[in-house]
Homo-oligomer: A and B are copies of this chain.
Amino acid sequence: MPDGTDKPASSPKRSFAAPTGTRDLYPLELARRRWIEDKWRKSAVRHGFEEVDGPTFEHTELYTAKSGDGIVGEIFSTFSGKDEAAVKAMGDALARGEKGAAPYALRPEFTPTLARMFAARGGQFSKPCKWSWQGPCYRAERPQRGRLREFLQWNCDLIGDGSAAADVEVMAVCVGLLESVGLKPADLRLRFNSRRVLGSLVREMGVDAEHESTAFVLLDRRDKLDDDALEAMAFEFGTSDFGFLQFLKRPRGRTGADEALNAMPLDARAKANSLLEPITAVSRELQNAGIAEWCDLDFNVARGLAYYTGTVFELHEASGAMRAVAGGGRYDNLIETFGGPPTPAVGFGMGDVVLSLVLQDKGLMPSDKQIAADLGLRPDVFVISNGQPESDALVGAYLADLRRKGMHARRSYKTTKNVGKLLQDAASCNARYAVIIESATDVTLKDMDANTQDKGPASELLARILPPPR
């Protein structure tokens, strides 16, 4: 359990609790998480994405290269204690206040790993590569509702296709997941934008190319800051043009694309039509893919990561209540940065924490019994002795035999010989059948769902419930 505090490294007493912002998942909680992982994986498979995986930790430079300050400031650093001289040298550097002195970092996101992997071996695959990934990520954020330091993320990326259709194919697998868990367009909105369009717009407003990335950072943070803070940051970064400041300070919250366009201080609004072409292309493909009803153009979406180049999108509750459920976009330069050929790519990441909260809030998380059934965790058979020593001695052999034949078989660990109480045990773990050993050859087979039973030779009765041999 999170202990709610960030203990300094020199603290003499550390507890045996889980580290702040991490989770202990006991069987029911783990099954709920596995249910989400299963939905993720099946959505990716249905849409033709193939799963890949990479290391939990990477060389620190993989993140300092391109992810942007927001992520780099929240990295968990990692080092091996094997090489004592290297550890001492790193200790000196840390004591001097050098950041990034540790050789490795726990992955805060998967995209840099994916880009590195594609740069290394992407040439061997036919294009586009459609890759999915799911696993834990780590950020040293202050834990709060919907935000942990270790969380699961699901990524889908389409590499080697720079078209709006590719953007939408990635959005479609995201929407496919939402549909598969029972969410509706009234629950969640996929808000999209284009950094290329946004770049053109802010240049129209007087921001020069040099300050474009700073302008994106400001746009990304504007919901979290008030006008004075935004203006101060804009001056500090040197993007103090009046037109852009007006755009930055326009009313917060959701506004339609038309309203946003009208609010723009463009000298030649007539230019907007051609500026908007990348967005128009995405809108057309959203119609083709049949997912337009989930999506809104939203000029508020800029994304915090430094590597995005084109279409960007975020998935939010329609109420706007919480942080993003998912976010992604096009990153056409990242693979080249890691030594690969120039390669267009687009993808998104979705975390388990916010998604789980949304599903709970909407009453869409299935019951634990349903989850066990969905995941194939329901016991097939519960083996009981009728209480005779001869039967007691056979319980182990029955279990071993049934398991060998592919059945999920359980028994009671209670010392009671009362068959009624043992059947209660079978019922409480929701076993499909109970087998009561009656003699060396005979059993009672009880169908726990139908509440019917038959007594007879084990070989005959068990044949009814065994799975077909492979």
- B-contacting residues of A (Cβ < 8 Å)? 1, 6-11, 14-19, 22-27, 30-31, 33-34, 45-48, 50-62, 65, 73-97, 99, 101-104, 106, 113, 116-117, 119-121, 125, 127-128, 131, 136, 138, 140, 149-150, 161, 165, 172, 176, 179, 288-291, 338-339, 376-377, 379, 393, 396-397, 400-401, 403-404, 406-411, 413
CB neighbours of A50 from chain B (8 A): 27, 30, 377
A19 is contacted by which of B19, B52, B59, B172 (Cβ under 8 Å)? B59
Checking B14, B17, B46 against A408 with a beta-carbon cut-off of 8 angstroms, the contacting residue is B46
Q: With A16-B119, A18-B55, A131-B27 as given contacts, are A46 and B406 in contact (CB-CB < 8 Å)?
A: yes
19 contacts between A and B (CB under 8 A): A9-B89, A11-B103, A14-B59, A16-B61, A16-B65, A19-B104, A22-B54, A23-B55, A24-B117, A24-B120, A24-B121, A30-B50, A34-B51, A48-B379, A48-B408, A57-B106, A74-B80, A289-B396, A290-B396
Give complex CA distance A76, B106 in Å.
11
- Which residue from chain B places its CB closest to the CB of A413 in the assembled complex? B128
**Contact of A82 (CB < 8 Å), options: B6, B10, B18, B397:** B6
- A16 lies within 8 A of B56 (CB): no
Chain B residues with Cβ below 8 Å from A82 are 6, 73-74, 140
Is B97 touching A94 in the complex (CB atoms < 8 A)? no
CA distance A120 to B406 in the complex (A): 34
- The answer to whether A81 and B77 have CB atoms under 8 Å apart is yes
Q: Which residues of B contact A179 (CB under 8 A)?
A: 404
